[in-house]
Amino acid sequence: MDLLGYLNEQLANVRSISDAVMIFEQMSTFPTSSEIDDLLFETGVYPDYTALTESDEYKDADLNLHLAMLKNTPKNFQFSLVRQYRRNDWDDEFLQLRLDIYLKPELWNKLLYVSFWSNNDIPAFFRKVRASLAYKYIEKHNLSISNIKVSLTET
């Protein structure tokens, strides 16, 4: 199954955090050919890479990230779920399938920097995501998601 295609199709009209997380959780149960298959959750206020580089590629943004410290760069609150797995078991390269949900940075989310990896227990991982302050706040206040981006990159 094409995991990237599945996410793009399922998330096309989603605007609620609960629906987006549920879809990513479902996708996380689909098998890959890799023995290593991890999940990552992270949130925080970060520079708007697209505004910095006129590209949505993280590698391009890394080249200009130092500029974000020097000028008043637009920022987004980012709620991210990542599935990382090996392309194949004889290769050291990993693929990262990312779901990045963007919201306007506000007072409530300025200090919500969270990052944790799965421990190979998918239901426990998503319970922890749903128990996070960011998830609870977004869901409780029915906050509008400004953008959802799905990407597949190599490490």
pLDDT digits (tens, 9 = 90+) for 88-132: 767 778 899 999 998 887 777 777 888 999 978 999 999 999 999
pLDDT 10s digits, 12-42: 988 899 999 999 999 999 988 888 889 999 9
Domain ranges of the chain: 3-154
The conformation of residue 107, written as its DSSP 8-state character, comes to: G
- 3-26 per-residue burial string, b: 16 or more CB within 10 A, e: under 16: beebbeebbeebeebeebbebbbe
The pLDDT of residue 73: 66
The pLDDT value given to residue 1: 63
Over residues 135-149, mean pLDDT: 86
The predicted pLDDT at position 76 comes to 82
**43/15: higher pLDDT:** 43
> How confident is the model at residue 11, as a pLDDT?
93
Q: Please give the average per-residue pLDDT across 126-154, as a whole number.
A: 90
Give 55-90 as a 3 state SS string: CCCHHHHHHHHHHHHHCCCCEEEEEEEEEEEECCCC
Strands 94-103 and 75-86: antiparallel
Does the pLDDT at position 45 exceed 70?
Answer: yes
Question: Is the distance from CB of 39 to CB of 99 less than 8 angstroms?
Answer: no
Task: Average the pLDDT over 64-83 and give the result.
Answer: 72
pTM: 0.83
Instruction: Label residue 66 by pLDDT band (50, 70, 90).
Output: low
